[in-house]
Amino acid sequence: MSHILPQPGFRIGHTTLEEARTGVTVIAFDDRTLTAVEARGAAPGTRELDAFAPGRLTPYADAIVLTGGSAFGLRSADGVMQALATRQRGFPTSAGPVPLVPAAVVFDLAHGEPVAPEASHGEAAFAAALPVEQVAQGRVGAGTGTRWNNLGMEDPVAGGFGIGQISLPEGRITAVAVVNALGTVLSAGTDHRQALLQHQAPAPAPGEQTTLVAIITDIPCDHAALVRCCVAGHDALARSIAPAHTMFDGDVVFASTTQRGEIGIDQLLRLHIGAELAVEAAIASAVQHSTNQSWPGQSPSTPARSLP
């Protein structure tokens, strides 16, 4: 497991609701940060992603929220917006700055108590943000109640929140992942795709699986390069989890740079390869950190319980 080094320009905070097995993770940027995003899963739960598409007026995020609680959890971004507003952060308007806080959710309502994070939990996660090298991994924040291997072939396995990082001569690339996938994390489980072709497993509940990824770099680049980083992140997701991007998953990848600038074609290739490797490391780290952790009253090896 790689050592996480400091990277300026952002901090990460968690709010963990252990009894409810849910939580919020906030990536808080020091300044408005150029950001792109791409959703490839067929069942995403998101907020304000359209503002970060190519050609938009203000593709700059003040923070990114990754949260549990399905669509109910999107309200946690309200608390982050309020915290930023009190600091006079956001897109300048005639009525004052308006913070831009895109958000994406995982479904964990059936993995513990049916409780979703609220605005206060988002605000608390923002307030608790730490430099990336100090951030906890595993069953914390948005990864608290997550599971993977939901194919019906074996018992589900605890997912989690993980960080991966790649250092290049031009700068550093950090990726974070919240793993709540239908498929198998290939670094820790068995690829069941061939068996599934012969096995009539019950169809999973639509929209209850999702892997969320955010890539943050301090390598100078433009929005088009970040769009390609999102593609690279999804490529890494599909190499790490099988199957991925299914009709039942809501997979979303964000990409941000804290240093906007021009980038050459050779550097662009290195950036994209670095982003892929960082995402692969983040997904593996989420699973590794969760292996020896447990929820209250549960051993680490016990599958997450479902509601009756």
Q: Residue 200 has what pLDDT?
A: 67
Mean pLDDT of the chain: 91
pTM, rounded to two decimals:
0.93
Arithmetic mean of pLDDT, 235-250? 95
What beta strand segments (E) does 91-244 contain? 103-105, 147-148, 157-158, 160-168, 171-180, 184-185, 210-217, 241-242
Neighbours of 166 (CB within 10 A): 22
Arithmetic mean of pLDDT, 243-270? 95
Residues of the chain with pLDDT > 70, as a percent, come to 92
Q: Which of 24-33, 38-47, 159-168, 191-200 has the lowest mean pLDDT?
A: 191-200
Q: Would the pLDDT of 167 be above 90?
A: yes
Asked if residue 276 is part of any domain, the answer here is yes
Asked if residue 55 is part of any domain, the answer here is yes
Asked if residue 299 is part of any domain, the answer here is no
> Please, are residues 178 and 286 in contact by the beta-carbon 8 Å criterion?
yes
> Please, are residues 117 and 73 in contact by the beta-carbon 8 Å criterion?
yes
Q: Residue 207 has what pLDDT?
A: 66
Arithmetic mean of pLDDT, 29-41? 97
Arithmetic mean of pLDDT, 5-24? 96
Q: Would the pLDDT of 201 be above 70?
A: no
All residues at 6 or more sequence positions from 217 whose CB lies less than 8 Å from its CB, including other chains: 171, 172, 173, 174, 229, 255, 256, 257, 258, 259, 271, 274, 275
> Please, are residues 83 and 90 in contact by the beta-carbon 8 Å criterion?
no
All residues at 6 or more sequence positions from 16 whose CB lies less than 8 Å from its CB, including other chains: 23, 139, 140, 141, 144
> Please, are residues 33 and 10 in contact by the beta-carbon 8 Å criterion?
yes
Q: Residue 302 has what pLDDT?
A: 42
Asked if residue 306 is part of any domain, the answer here is no
- Containing domain of residue 35, as a range? 10-291
Angle, CA 130 vertex, CA 104 and CA 103 arms, to 5°:
10
Amino acid at 84: L
Q: How many domains does the chain fold into?
A: 1
Arithmetic mean of pLDDT, 38-64? 95
Q: Residue 299 has what pLDDT?
A: 47
Asked if residue 303 is part of any domain, the answer here is no
Each residue's pLDDT tens digit, 118-160: 999 999 999 999 999 999 999 999 999 999 998 888 889 999 9
Asked if residue 111 is part of any domain, the answer here is yes
Asked if residue 195 is part of any domain, the answer here is yes
Asked if residue 92 is part of any domain, the answer here is yes
Arithmetic mean of pLDDT, 167-174? 96
Q: Tell me the CATH number at 242.
A: 3.60.70.12
- DSSP assigned state of 50: G
Each residue's pLDDT tens digit, 67-122: 999 999 999 999 999 999 999 999 999 999 999 999 999 999 987 778 899 999 99
Q: Would the pLDDT of 297 be above 70?
A: no
Residues of the chain with pLDDT > 90, as a percent, come to 81
